[in-house]
Structure 1
């Protein structure tokens, strides 16, 4: 990996080799944000009106692992919209934060679309959705509190971490993430809260101590009514026939 060429140079070489006639290309990901590690790859977003549809492809070229996200000049909108529905704006973020490698005049409008979507934030959760999420967080927390099997506990905690991070972010109309983007999204929202979140789960994984997790969950749910179990109902038909 030490003989890898510079990211920008590699990006141009990939374009010249695979998409010489494309209308636009953007280098995105950790190398652009200044967060690259030895295992980081290059994310390259292509806009080429000769493509029939979007596709994704993984390559190893010029000493780099490369992820290509290829679109024509309209197919990218599906991914913009779908990512935003899921509250994980991967494509809009790549396009808005990336570095332009090539542009024949199409990128300013596409970048503008991406930035506008990001600024809007995800759709606000309804009261019903918040209650459903409260219930499942409560259920997972109860499972963790009562768990006697360390192996089971690890995976209960994993699930609880996903649920709580999602609740924190979505109840504040913030974008969520998965894997490393769980922590990054929390940091972007509230650095101190992100630190508290990491410390709570770290204490459990290291010392089998759930005190901080319980405290974090209760603090998170309190503004919305706290834990929810008794009286929760989902899908119940309340219409009865009198016979």
Structure 2
């Protein structure tokens, strides 16, 4: 009796299995490749996709060198911008330095010529002097903010003068036209100097001659005409002859 083991080893059985496998493979190949190949739409779609793929590959190939040139241009621009920024910084620093030096030279010239020879009035602020009226004061400084809150005196802050930026004009209470009896000149620039710095008295000595020394920081010059000049701890006072600042020392040293 023939068993299953004997049957599967027979040549005819092996041939049958081979034929069956061949038919199955052929059917699968037919179904997967040959049938779609006979479909015109499938062929058209494949052609379009292949064309799109070819176009994409060509565009990629064209874009790559453009991207490389763009990256190089960006790098060159960044390098030029950095160099230009550095040049602008150097030029700006040089301009700021030159401006500061020019201002310093102008200030030195203004400070050196604060007083004209023979006059105790600061150059540029001599438009109103002792004996003038409040009306004359208003006319002499039309663009300045004159503080008139006090009847006995008027003040100007921010005069624009190189040295004396604050001025106070004191009036004779007994005069109807408010005549100026004395003027006080203040300097923020001199405020920072030590009290033993006699810059102001030194400059006045060039204009008026040697002063009387009443103590450290206290100087006076003999009256010239109707005015008497005093320096008190960096403050300049020009007063009507015969007047003296409050608290002034009584003895010349």
Q: Which TM-score applies when normalising by structure 1?
A: 0.22
Q: Which structure has the bigger radius of gyration?
A: 2
User: TM-score, length-normalised on structure 2?
Assistant: 0.21
**Larger RCO: 1 or 2 (CA < 8 Å, sep 6+):** 1
